[in-house]
A = this chain, B = another copy of it.
Amino acid sequence: MANVSGLSPSQLRFIHAARVAHLATASLNSQPHVIPICFVFDGKHFYSPIDEKPKRGPAIRLKRLRNISENPMVAVVVDRYEEDWGRLGWVMLYGHADILAHGIEHDQAQALLGERYPQLATMQIAEHPVIAVRIARVSSWGNLSVAPPTPF
């Protein structure tokens, strides 16, 4: 998995270890919006599926996509909260988002997401769009160390 995005090894490990991120978008009149997302990072681009959870209303889904359509600038944060604040840390990615409706990159992203989240297997999302974040800038803070697996 090539790292062509300028992230450090510790930033990369921190991102790969996380299961949820937060995506912020903004409307053209600068009203922010933020939502938790599942994601995969292929070493260059950051992908998040548009899922189809039964309880999620269309307005919510559309808000995220509508914002990206009118203003592709986004911010993504991957962070860790623990009660030991010496373990707090985050990696922030700034960039612009594309909405991939189909094509090779869309299909590859769907495959990576499916590998990472078995939960997606039952959700029939293969034909749904994927948000791709093209990273322009990265910053991070705090403790990014990822604990090694507990030995047997």
Contact = CB atoms under 8 A, between A and B. Distances in A.
A58 to B, nearest CB: 12
Contact of A75 (B28, B33, B79, B83): B33
Please classify the interface of chain A as helix (H, G, I), strand (E, B), loop, or mixed, using the class held by over half of its residues.
Answer: strand
A25 B25 CA distance: 9
Counted per complex, copies of this chain come to: 2
Contacts of A60: 139, 141
Interface residues of A, number: 40
Interface stretch (A16-24, A40-48, A105-113): A16-24
A34 interface: yes
Interface of A: 19-20, 22-36, 53, 55-57, 60, 71, 73-77, 79, 81, 83, 85, 88, 90, 92, 94, 119, 139, 141-142
Given A31-B73, A31-B75, A57-B141, 4 more contacts: A31-B94, A32-B33, A56-B141, A60-B139
